[in-house]
Amino acid sequence: MNTKSLLLDLGNTRLKWALADGADVLAGAPLAYADETLAAGLAQRWRDVEKPAQVWAASVAGAAREAELATAVRQRFDCDTSFVRSVANACGVQNAYPIAGRLGIDRFLGLIAIHQAKRTPVLLVSCGTALTLDLLTPDGRHHGGLIAPSPALMQHALYGNTAQLKAGGDAHWLALADNTDDAVFSGTWFAAVALVERVLAQAERQLDTPVELVLSGGAAEQLQAALGGLGRIEPELVLRGLSLYAAEHP
């Protein structure tokens, strides 16, 4: 009998998936929405995957995408998908939001993964479509966080909503730029860096102790480079947190 769980991370632009067997999480190739439909894309990627014992999903993509995913899972494996929502307390993490379900499940599961691995204060920064920052202390208490546009989203907004700005070729990181593309690219990344550095300093003052910076998300490497190498990158935190949640809720 197969004991593996199929884990699904349904984001704003792509789906990530993994198979979990106990503590082992084996990630598969992600699927971008623009490439193909979920059903066709997943049928191809899962053609050699045997029916899992359970299917767990974390989604920030909305009801329509969730329904599409659930249908794809049912067509391929003839089983239902359990969508996880943020709660007040799970896996030792205490959600700071008074209305627990309003905290993005990607943020909540990321905190669960970090709490399982670390017992020091952590500022978790995820850079993808959005830039999110969350403070977690060793007792598992979430002290809240912030949400801002990612540099990519800021760039898209500037080029899409400013008549005189037109995207050109490759942009470069410069302290002071002499052309529009470099100015937009550098300005948006400086904005992200300033926010991260400010919140990190504020967290250390608030807790009166050093706080470790952990980076995740699709643009984590770019953010780390913009920060001058500051921070430690942790990949696949949502899938890892989802695995821990699933193990606690068999």
Comparing CA positions, the residue from 13, 29, 14, 7 lying closest to residue 73 is 7
Distance CA 184, CA 159 (A): 9
Q: What DSSP element (H or E) covers 82?
A: strand 82-83
* Residue 65: how many other CB atoms lie within 10 Å: 17
Distance CA 242, CA 11 (A): 14
Tokens of 68: 């599409």
Q: How many CA atoms lie within 13 A of 95 on its CB side?
A: 21
Q: How many CA atoms lie within 13 A of 1 on its CB side?
A: 3
Beta-bridge partner residues of 7: 18, 56
CB 114 within 8 A of CB 132: no
Q: What is the DSSP string of 131-143?
A: EEEEEE-TTSBEE
- Answer yes or no: 106 catalytic: yes
Out of 106, 170, 178, 208, the active site residue is 106
Q: Would you name the residues annotated as active-site residues? A: 106
